[in-house]
A and B are shown apart, each in its own frame.
Chain A
Amino acid sequence: MPLLEAAGVSKIFGKLTALDGAALTVGENEFHGLIGPNGSGKSTLMKCIAGAEVPTQGRVSFVNTDITAFTPTERARAGMSLKFQITSVLPSLTLYDNILLALQAQSSLLDLVFSRTRGALHDQVMTMLTQFRLADRAFEAAAALSHGQQQWLEIAMALAGKPKLLLLDEPTGGMSLEERRVTGELLQPIKKHCSLVIVEHDLDFIRDICDRLTVLDQGKVLASGTVSEIQANQSVQEIYLRRA
């Protein structure tokens, strides 16, 4: 059974059909890229999966459970995590507290009130920060980070709850070439325990880290397959050439 299966997903905003029966299947420990021209519905499909939008039609199932009507909180508790397209780290909190906030999300109320899980989570916070090369700035406010570092912090926060599936919406937006390369490196190790759906404009980046790709065009799936299959696909080349 695949980890995530979205089938026949449509989303209509007034007169605009953003998604028209799109489908997406992601297996365990698979990095799956979602590509397509601007306005093809990539971000909308991502939002329907994450629960930020409710699909007009269609079904999303995750770990064999129909989650179409789940709230974001319920999806998060089922093991799904989202990194927003717009960075939404909490700027006035320290890096440490940003990660702790993500890690303690499932602690009980009493544990939170009496600060009982902080000691146990401390090592995990520092491990996450070290993994994302931010440990030396742990006690600075997140607002002081560069744009690229904020993106890493955000990915670290999204991974903090040990999700089974991580949804990344344009993680390298606004990053320098070097930062993109490092982002790719930072993402590789999570493959052991987590699948990834990634929306990204940088095709080189996506080719380097993804196992499979799904190409959307005008709200429909144009093609889906391994990276080499997609690269060889005639119609995919056409839409990219047509709009380049």
Chain B
Amino acid sequence: MPKSMSVTREAIAGDEADEATAERVAAGQVKELVKQHVKEHVKAGRKVLPIVEGAALVAALAAPLLLQDYLTVFATRVIILALFALSFDLVWGYAGIMSFGQALFFGSAGYGVALLARDLDITNIFLVLPAGTLIGLTFALLLGGFLLLGRHPSSVIFVSLGTLTGSYAADRLARGWYYLGGQNGIPSIAPMTAGGYEFSEGPAFYYLVLGILVVVYLLCRFLVRSQFGLALAGLRENEQRIAFFGYKAQHLKAIIFAIGGAIAGLAGSLYAFHEGFVWPNMVGVVVSTQVVLYVLFGGSGTLIGAVIGTVIVEGVSFWLSDNYRDIWPIILGVLLLLVILFRPLGLISFVLGERERVGSFGAKVKEKQNAAP
């Protein structure tokens, strides 16, 4: 055993790229083999990301067929939260804007569509979902305009405290405002409708939100892999540098912040109709923090990481709260800390290399270029 061990160690010593691998050898050769396999896979130019995305899609499509009804309802909620996580990932993972108040856009859209249903009897899916998206967009434009569009770049602290304050204030406002139902929020929202059809909890609602998630995911992927995505990468890595190239860095930030707000609004309106009620927590700091955790856990700066993070955090919470009723939040907290300490790029970094994570931009044109003689 010592011989094979030392051979592996030498091989690793020669590999400057991954010092951490050396530690993992002690943990077991199996992991090492997996790692090697992944590496060879990457070296051969094969991409890991499409495989992960494909597997996730297959699993999501099959879920309602395999799960009991009450779990399909739970899975629907998780898919909606994954959509919400995408919005935060765009803003933080891709553009480097620390939004600690993403729930403001999620919750205000939830309240908005709840009011539409309660006061105006508007529940048509083709009206309420665009309305919720628009509410998220508008709030994000207002807050983003204030926080990001100064003459000089605003600091990360300023933006994170500003968004946090916005979310906190909205929470307090909702709690104190009778029209919004105060502490109790707005209960018994009528179901969302399409013509004569009512979307109630279950497989139909599940496939609806899954469809929306897939469409939004693809749009986000198109955006982050475009030349605009390259500008965002520059913004994230060195905002000052790209300003010296002549980029209007603040405008870029405000735009992506608004897009994030719109997606959060879409997610919030689906959430309101799925749960059938909205309450002040939905705009507050707790939900704002939750979405940060999903994305950090799964892997910020990868879209699939945000989705996987949401599924795992929510899934593990669900399971733990069933089996360790009293101490589950502590176990979950420790798990999250471990990931953030040892895998700052999230769980996805176990299979995804740095180069592929960063990726390239506007790639379709490049393929054409290469194809041309």
Contact = CB atoms under 8 A, between A and B. Distances in A.
Interface in B242-284: 242-249, 255
Contacts of B361: 97, 100, 115, 118
Contacts of B223: 113
Contacts of A160: 245
Interface of B: 151-152, 223, 226-228, 230-231, 233-234, 237-238, 240-249, 255, 354-355, 358, 360-362, 364-366, 368-369
Given A90-B237, A100-B361, A111-B227, A161 B245 contact: yes
Interface in A97-124: 97, 100-102, 104-107, 109, 111-119, 122
B233 A105 contact: no
B124 to A, nearest CB: 30
Contacts of B365: 115, 118-119, 122
Given A71-B152, A111-B227, A93 B244 contact: no
B243 A71 contact: yes
A76 B245 contact: yes
What 4 A-B pairs have minimum CB-CB distances, sorted nearest first?
A115-B362, A76-B246, A118-B362, A105-B245
A81 interface: yes
A167 B358 CA distance: 30
Given A90-B233, A141-B355, A157-B245, 17 more contacts: A71-B151, A73-B243, A73-B247, A76-B244, A90-B237, A91-B237, A96-B360, A97-B230, A102-B245, A104-B231, A105-B245, A105-B247, A115-B365, A122-B369, A160-B245, A161-B245, A161-B246
Contact of A119 (B151, B228, B231, B368): B368
Contacts of A161: 245-246
Contacts of A94: 360
A117 B231 CA distance: 13
B230 A104 contact: yes
11 contacts: A72-B244, A73-B243, A88-B240, A91-B237, A92-B237, A101-B242, A105-B242, A105-B246, A112-B228, A118-B365, A119-B369
A114 B241 CA distance: 23
A139 B234 CA distance: 17
A101 B245 contact: yes
Contact of A50 (B244, B246, B364, B368): B244
Interface string A13-30: 000000000000000000
A84 interface: yes
A102 B242 CA distance: 8
Interface string A61-74: 00000000001110
Contacts of A111: 227
Interface residues of A, number: 40
A160 B241 CA distance: 14
Contact of B241 (A88, A106, A113, A116): A88
Contact of A104 (B152, B227, B358, B364): B227
Contacts of B240: 72, 88
A193 interface: no
A229 B231 CA distance: 46
Given A100-B361, A112-B227, A113-B228, A76 B369 contact: no
Contacts of A168: none
A141 B246 contact: no
Contacts of B369: 119, 122
Contacts of B247: 73, 105
A225 B309 CA distance: 63
B241 to A, nearest CB: 5
A82 interface: yes
A81 B242 CA distance: 11
Nearest to A78: B246
A181 interface: no
